[in-house]
Chains A and B, each alone.
Chain A
């Protein structure tokens, strides 16, 4: 039994594991870091910036994999708690970062740690058993090659502990597939950006946590009241029941109605068979019960069983929208049973289903256009061919034949194949999610600027789906900001939501509830942090944390050589108009939105780098020094108006750095 520190809400300890020497060190969680970055994604991003430099190869022992929770993990807070996994990504070579729910985060806190940092490389295959403040390196030689569910069973059998929480990698990670993930308790993957391969490169098959500790809050009475208040907000929310019945799988039918589905690799934005593969149908015919993350009152994960047909008896949790749309409309499969089987296969092998759906649909489109033929792949890759897809998935996982080419991600595959580069839909090396940016322009801008590559979870400007110009006018001073197909005001919208997402990812709560359902606004987060940790913070402080994290991640990318030219979207979305459906005729006006975005951020419009003034304002002077020492020239940004953008003061405190000013200054020395 370990008694946790008096840093309320936190465990107060960081666990550092060096696998090369099997050294274990326990450090204090630093209070000033907690104040500046809160936890989770923020804490990890800071450590990555400080400890993993530009020369580190992602699959080398020098790379560090960090798992971090936030101040709310382990508490009976009604919004499920999560954790963040960060390392340098082997897939993009940049920031690798993935967020996951389930019960691991809380158990890790009960075991006594806010953050686990893993470095080095073990010479024999091991799994780490972290319990009550200590670490055991246990042999994993018997686990090699086992799928996620098999290894989960074996470890549970060996440890004989029902409460042990297990994070695992599958066989694809062992084969260093660049988009393999870390799977928490079988069905919950932290799969984006290939962190499974990082763990595999360290010769670690699994991380197990278990603890008997406890967490205290600073003010118990106010906490109880605040929880009742939040519970009521959640239970009375109009999205409560749709989310509880369908989770995010409900988006598929909605996306078809609005016209942003990735049908046949983004060739169409609407499908003519949406109900057959929808979350609605899953709920009606497949789902048998709900399951939930730790301490969540909106259990949106669904356990399904396939009732009949070839895949009768196939069961599992999920799938969420990304997996569902990825294995149905994106690759042309119309059979829901087959899609479920494929999702479960990809998960069990330990891969990111979003990236898999992109590499396969990319091949299929090349096939359709005659740029790829049967002899090269060894398979007939027609749209919706379940058998070929299944075989290709297994080939990728084993890095066999053509699968070996695809296993490095679509960007590198296109490069090595020398064909289909314009059709490879990724940003900064990370494959695109299941939403057509031409039909969701704020999301599109979000993909382009997201710090980990094409991803909606960095900004998630859900409000634009409301399509209500009054909201935009009121909140951002631009009616178009909250119109799905609008352009003006998207920079402000995305910047605001990016700050919000960064905070939500750092206090490690569920983004669906906290942000999409607008339950935890900045002022409520400030109140909550005060109740839980006892630290006095204002709403503006919380917004500043979000902005600090976004700027720090940007600085990290800048150090790796990322500039404005890399904030791009694949060509199809910029030039080809959507053929049909409610978003017909639209392209995405990226450059206009980018200008506005950098302006709002107080960044340099030419290079997309943060300005000195912005970084100093956010307390990141050490980052400025570091970048300058490495010869990265930042603009000073002196003509920026001061103050952080807040929802109310967004317009009058807007950064005034105009493109013409920058050009004039650059040319004038």
Chain B
């Protein structure tokens, strides 16, 4: 099965933390930026705003690192935490290559993005469209005539443009 994941357009993110708050509310019933599955990196001086969230690695290092088998990958790529098996050793936190996975400040069990079962609240609530779901379906790029006509010049433009399309949440092959 082709996996979906969250994509971030950093030029659109304004750093309002609305995604974090609704994530925390949906999963924990309270508002906190420490209890969300998505977290913002910010620097006010330079105007840096960038949300980081589970990349759904395949194979997933967090799953491999878990000594008790509490973490498992579901068929859609989402990491499932079996709280009963977890011993809060934080091996998964250390192993996460993006430092996204974190422990719940109260229960000390790992919290990780579950894509809200298909329509993530962060994507729904984002006021600037900076967050999208990378879709299952693939779109054909279909600019062969331009490629044939322009050659190397086109190659460069197409690379940049395909990068942009990924940020827009369009899967191009």
In the complex, the answer to whether A76 meets B22 with C-beta atoms within 8 Å is yes
Band of interface residues on A: 35 or more
- Bitwise interface map of B from 42 to 74 toward A, beta carbon under 8 Å scored 1, else 0: 111111010000000000000000000000000
Chain A residues with CB under 8 A of B41: 162
A539–B28 Cα gap in the complex (Å)? 32
In the complex, the answer to whether B47 meets A303 with C-beta atoms within 8 Å is yes
In the complex, the answer to whether B32 meets A213 with C-beta atoms within 8 Å is yes
Quick one: closest A residue to B47, CB to CB? A303
- Given A75-B21, A76-B18, A103-B17, A299-B127 contact (CB < 8 Å): yes
A298–B33 Cα gap in the complex (Å)? 19
In the complex, the answer to whether A297 meets B32 with C-beta atoms within 8 Å is no
In the complex, the answer to whether B33 meets A149 with C-beta atoms within 8 Å is no
In the complex, the answer to whether A295 meets B14 with C-beta atoms within 8 Å is no
In the complex, the answer to whether B25 meets A76 with C-beta atoms within 8 Å is yes
The answer, yes or no, to whether A317 is at the interface (CB within 8 Å) is yes
In the complex, the answer to whether A1 meets B127 with C-beta atoms within 8 Å is no
- Bitwise interface map of A from 154 to 176 toward B, beta carbon under 8 Å scored 1, else 0: 00100000110000000000000
Chain B residues with CB under 8 A of A266: none
* Distance to closest chain B CB from A187 (angstroms): 6
The answer, yes or no, to whether B106 is at the interface (CB within 8 Å) is yes
Chain B residues with CB under 8 A of A289: 11-12, 14, 47
Of the residues A149, A162, A294, contact of B17 by C-beta under 8 Å:
A294
In the complex, the answer to whether B16 meets A295 with C-beta atoms within 8 Å is yes
Quick one: closest B residue to A162, CB to CB? B41
Quick one: closest A residue to B44, CB to CB? A185
* Distance to closest chain A CB from B80 (angstroms): 24
The answer, yes or no, to whether B105 is at the interface (CB within 8 Å) is yes
From B15, B28, B31, residue with most partner A Cβ within 10 Å: B31
In the complex, the answer to whether A212 meets B16 with C-beta atoms within 8 Å is no
In the complex, the answer to whether A292 meets B15 with C-beta atoms within 8 Å is yes
The answer, yes or no, to whether B118 is at the interface (CB within 8 Å) is no
Quick one: closest A residue to B42, CB to CB? A162
- Given A187-B44, A315-B47, A293-B16 contact (CB < 8 Å): yes
A466–B28 Cα gap in the complex (Å)? 44
In the complex, the answer to whether A110 meets B32 with C-beta atoms within 8 Å is yes
A358–B17 Cα gap in the complex (Å)? 37
Chain B residues with CB under 8 A of A293: 16
In the complex, the answer to whether B44 meets A186 with C-beta atoms within 8 Å is yes
- Which positions 141-199 of chain A face chain B at CB distance < 8 Å? 149, 152-153, 156, 162-163, 185-187
* Distance to closest chain B CB from A234 (angstroms): 9
- Given A163-B33, A290-B128, A295-B21 contact (CB < 8 Å): yes
- Given A153-B45, A303-B47, A317-B47, A216-B30 contact (CB < 8 Å): yes
Of the residues B14, B29, B33, contact of A291 by C-beta under 8 Å:
B14
Chain B residues with CB under 8 A of A110: 32-34
Chain A residues with CB under 8 A of B16: 80, 292-297, 299
* Distance to closest chain B CB from A124 (angstroms): 27
In the complex, the answer to whether A297 meets B42 with C-beta atoms within 8 Å is no
In the complex, the answer to whether A215 meets B17 with C-beta atoms within 8 Å is no
Chain A residues with CB under 8 A of B28: 214
* Distance to closest chain A CB from B124 (angstroms): 10
The answer, yes or no, to whether A220 is at the interface (CB within 8 Å) is yes
In the complex, the answer to whether A216 meets B31 with C-beta atoms within 8 Å is yes
Of the residues A1, A296, A303, contact of B106 by C-beta under 8 Å:
A1
The answer, yes or no, to whether A106 is at the interface (CB within 8 Å) is yes
A74–B33 Cα gap in the complex (Å)? 8
In the complex, the answer to whether A214 meets B47 with C-beta atoms within 8 Å is no
* Distance to closest chain B CB from A658 (angstroms): 51
Chain A residues with CB under 8 A of B125: 76
A294–B35 Cα gap in the complex (Å)? 16
- Which positions 107-134 of chain B face chain A at CB distance < 8 Å? 125, 127-128
A290–B126 Cα gap in the complex (Å)? 14
Of the residues A106, A211, A291, contact of B49 by C-beta under 8 Å:
A291
- Which positions 73-124 of chain B face chain A at CB distance < 8 Å? 105-106
- Bitwise interface map of B from 129 to 165 toward A, beta carbon under 8 Å scored 1, else 0: 0000000000000000000000000000000000000
A185–B42 Cα gap in the complex (Å)? 11
In the complex, the answer to whether A1 meets B47 with C-beta atoms within 8 Å is no
A: which residues have CB within 8 A of B?
Answer: 1, 74-76, 78, 80, 102-103, 106, 110, 149, 152-153, 156, 162-163, 185-187, 211-217, 220, 288-299, 303, 315, 317
30 intermolecular pairs with C-beta atoms under 8 Å apart? A74-B32, A75-B31, A76-B21, A78-B18, A103-B17, A106-B33, A110-B32, A110-B33, A152-B44, A162-B41, A162-B43, A163-B33, A163-B42, A213-B34, A214-B28, A214-B32, A215-B30, A215-B31, A288-B47, A289-B47, A290-B14, A291-B49, A292-B14, A292-B15, A293-B16, A294-B16, A298-B127, A299-B127, A299-B128, A315-B47
